[in-house]
Chain A
Amino acid sequence: MTQSTGSTRTTRARQVGVDIQETEENRAVVEAIEADNADCAVRHMPGLVRITSPTRIVVNRESVEQRLGREWETHEFQLAIVSYFGHIAEWDDDQILIQWDH
Chain B
Amino acid sequence: MAAPRKLSMKQRYAALTRDLDWDLSYVDEDKAYPYTSFEGIKIHDWSKWEDPFRLTIDAYMKYQAEKDKRLYAVLDSFAQGQGHLQLTDPSYLNAMKLFLQGVTPLEYQAHRNFAYLARFLNGPGPRFAALCQSQDELRHAQTEIHTLSNYNKYYQGMHSWQHQHDRVWYLSVPKSYFDDAVTAGPFEFLIAIGFSFEYLLTNLLFVPFMSGASFNGDLPTMTFGFSAQSDESRHMTLGLEAIKFMLEQDPDNVPIVQAWIDKWFWRGYRLLALVSQMLDYMLPRKVMSWKEAFELYFEEQMLGGLFPDLAYYGITPPRHVEHAIAEKEVLSHQVYWTLYQFSFAAGFTTTIPSEDAQKWLAEQYPQTFEKLYKPLWGKAAAVVDNGGRYFYQGLPQLCQVCQVPMLFTEPGDPTTICQRHTEFEGERYDFCSDGCQWIFEREPEKYVQAWLPVHQIYQGNCGGPTVPDVLAWYKLQPGDNGEIAGNLEQTAWETWHATSSAEEQAPAPVAGN
Contact = CB atoms under 8 A, between A and B. Distances in A.
B287 A46 contact: yes
A87 B233 CA distance: 11
Contacts of B450: none
Nearest to A89: B52
Contacts of A38: none
Contact of A82 (B53, B226, B287, B315): B226
Nearest to B314: A2
Interface string A7-22: 1011010111101010
Interface size of A as a range: 35 or more
B237 A88 contact: yes
A83 B229 contact: yes
A21 B226 contact: yes
Given A4-B311, A78-B230, A84-B233, A9 B211 contact: no
Interface stretch (A27-35, A64-72, A90-98): A90-98
Interface in A4-63: 4-5, 7, 9-10, 12, 14-17, 19, 21, 45-48
Given A83-B236, A86-B305, A78 B226 contact: no
B305 A100 contact: yes
A83 B316 CA distance: 24
A90 B287 contact: no
A75 B287 CA distance: 31
Given A74-B9, A93-B8, A4 B307 contact: yes
A46 B316 contact: no
B312 A92 contact: no
A93 B9 contact: yes
Interface in B88-146: none
Contacts of B59: 75
B234 interface: yes
B304 A12 contact: yes
Contacts of B303: 7, 9
A1 B311 contact: yes
A39 B314 CA distance: 30
Contacts of B312: 1-2, 101-102
B8 A92 contact: yes
B308 interface: yes
A4 B301 contact: no
Contacts of B236: 83-84
Interface of A: 1-5, 7, 9-10, 12, 14-17, 19, 21, 45-48, 74-76, 78-93, 100-102
Interface of B: 8-10, 52-55, 59, 62-63, 66-67, 202-203, 206-207, 210-211, 214-215, 222, 226, 229-230, 232-234, 236-237, 240, 244, 287, 300-309, 311-317, 321
